[in-house]
């Protein structure tokens, strides 16, 4: 197998990175060449993403690739978080900065939509978890506010589709990112016209859907000249970051689940077809996957809770990295109190400690006593939420989960991984860490016909990266705590 190079741009809600992947001799290696911060902009109580600054960081990554001897990349791919979008006008320009999914404009919009289309009918068509931040409610909020930009829009492009447009001039909507919107029919894999029609939303602004592995186009000449990158393809990878992360799960067999652990925790299984029934009542979602798979999963809050805790501490002059936080949490009192990570109070609090205190008071629990306790409360609550979700997946799918693959940044959290193994009672296999970028690279290699399939790609991952195994211990106490936890979050 000849050596080939690919470039992945992975944009997260807290940071972004550019990573080169080198496929050589049946193994793959990766090299991070650029990392940068990403943060929301707050203007007049609305939250936005500065996509122009992020695109400049993307081009900086291309320039660094050239300087580091990687100007010969075969292709590049972009992935981001889901649901958020920008609107393109008739002149091809972005009409405004994309709103963040944490923007308050969607408050109460789900209920307004349900007055027109019942919940079960929406779920029957889309298979997507009901979350106030979904693109459906963002778009409907614009209609309700009589937003003039919606009337001026020629195209709606989700975040990775915007980057691909800036790179190539082509306006396409990649399947896995489109699937997160709650605007796409999970069976036809096309945007659902009936939803647009009943809600009075403009269907013609939606871009054609393309599948992961399709080549969108060549890098625009102006981008090529500015960055020094040659005649590279831009590939539609799993443009939703979790889709790319799941593609890099080094799994074998069938009885496994994945946990993509980052700002959000996405825990689920791969399925050949959507699992609909009444799973919307348990907040399960059927998102598009790579290789014609469905990612049947539950989306729950993740490291966002720790991120906000850390930022509050920093404002008070106490600076800790994430390893420090896990270490201090391991020394705190066990099972003192629990939180529901998905409670609205934790969506975007200015002070996470105060939010935890308020939740504990509401649920008649003692509040944590110190920083150690707040962090441990979060980690234990996450582990119990994972245990609960896995049990629910087993009940709905009929599949017995025998191991859990943890990928992405959370794979580095040794304390949480061990808590998760103890809570779930099954082995936790952690790694690779940069699964999202790695999945993007693997899909690019499949598009270039250097890798035969997703199964072949996962074999290469197993061959190329060390996976750490956490075996469960002391599981009996966690079974007892699950019942307490369920009563608290009910």
Tell me the catalytic residues: 241
Under a CB-based contact definition with an 8 Å cutoff, are residues 264 and 386 in contact?
Answer: no
Q: Cα 424 vs. chain centroid, distance in angstroms?
A: 22
Q: b vs e for 56-77, b when ≥16 Cβ sit within 10 Å of the residue's Cβ?
A: ebbeebbbebeeeebbebbbbb
Q: Cα 380 vs. chain centroid, distance in angstroms?
A: 21
373 contact partners, CB below 8 Å, separation of at least 6: 332, 333, 336
Q: Are strands 233-235 and 215-218 parallel, antiparallel or unpaired?
A: antiparallel
How open is the CA angle 338-341-344, to the nearest 5 degrees? 120
Residues 462, 56: Cα–Cα separation, whole Å: 34
Q: What is the DSSP letter of 94?
A: B
Q: Cα 298 vs. chain centroid, distance in angstroms?
A: 11
> CB atoms < 10 A from the CB of 26, how many?
12
């Amino acid at each position: 197998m000849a050596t080939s190079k690919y470039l992945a741009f992975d944009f997260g809600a807290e940071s972004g990175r550019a990573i080169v992947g080198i496929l050589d001799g049946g193994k793959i290696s990766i090299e991070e060449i650029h990392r940068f911060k990403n943060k929301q902009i707050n203007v007049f109580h609305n939250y936005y993403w500065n996509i122009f600054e992020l695109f400049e960081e993307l081009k900086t990554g291309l320039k660094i690739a050239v300087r580091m001897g990687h100007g010969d990349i075969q292709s590049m791919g972009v992935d981001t978080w889901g649901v958020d979008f920008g609107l393109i006008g008739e002149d091809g320009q972005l009409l405004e900065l994309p709103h963040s999914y944490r923007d308050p404009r969607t408050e109460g919009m789900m209920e307004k939509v349900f007055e027109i289309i019942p919940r079960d009918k929406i779920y029957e068509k889309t298979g997507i978890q009901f979350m106030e931040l979904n693109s459906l409610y963002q778009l409907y909020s614009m209609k309700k506010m009589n937003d003039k930009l919606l009337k001026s829009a020629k195209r709606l492009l989700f975040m990775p589709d915007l980057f691909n447009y800036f790179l190539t001039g082509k306006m396409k909507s990649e399947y896995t990112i489109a699937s997160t919107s709650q605007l796409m029919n999970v069976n036809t894999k096309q945007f659902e016209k009936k939803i647009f029609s009943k809600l009075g939303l403009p269907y013609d602004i939606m871009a054609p859907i393309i599948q992961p592995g399709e080549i969108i186009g060549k890098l625009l000449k102006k981008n090529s000249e500015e960055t020094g990158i040659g005649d590279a393809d831009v590939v539609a990878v799993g443009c939703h970051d979790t889709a790319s992360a799941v593609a890099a799960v080094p799994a074998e067999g069938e009885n496994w689940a994945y946990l993509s652990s980052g700002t959000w925790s996405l825990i689920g299984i791969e399925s050949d077809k959507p699992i609909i029934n009444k799973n919307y009542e348990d907040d399960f979602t059927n998102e598009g996957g790579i290789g014609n798979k469905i990612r049947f999963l539950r989306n729950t809050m993740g490291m966002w809770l720790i991120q906000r805790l850390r930022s509050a501490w920093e404002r008070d002059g106490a600076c800790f990295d994430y390893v420090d936080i896990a270490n201090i949490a391991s020394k705190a009192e066990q099972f003192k109190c629990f939180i529901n990570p998905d409670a609205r109070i934790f969506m975007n609090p200015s002070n996470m400690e105060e939010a935890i205190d308020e939740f504990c008071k509401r649920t008649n629990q003692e509040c944590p006593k110190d920083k150690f306790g707040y962090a441990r409360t979060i980690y234990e609550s996450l582990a119990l939420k994972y245990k609960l979700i896995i049990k629910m997946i087993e009940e709905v799918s009929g599949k017995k989960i025998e191991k859990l693959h943890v990928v992405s940044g959370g794979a580095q959290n040794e304390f949480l991984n061990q808590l998760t193994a103890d809570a779930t009672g099954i082995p936790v296999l952690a790694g690779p860490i940069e699964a999202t970028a790695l999945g993007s690279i693997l899909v690019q290699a499949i598009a270039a016909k250097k890798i035969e399939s997703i199964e072949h790609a996962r074999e290469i991952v197993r061959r190329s990266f060390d996976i750490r195994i956490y075996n469960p211990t002391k599981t009996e106490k966690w079974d007892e705590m699950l019942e307490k936890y369920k009563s608290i979050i009910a």
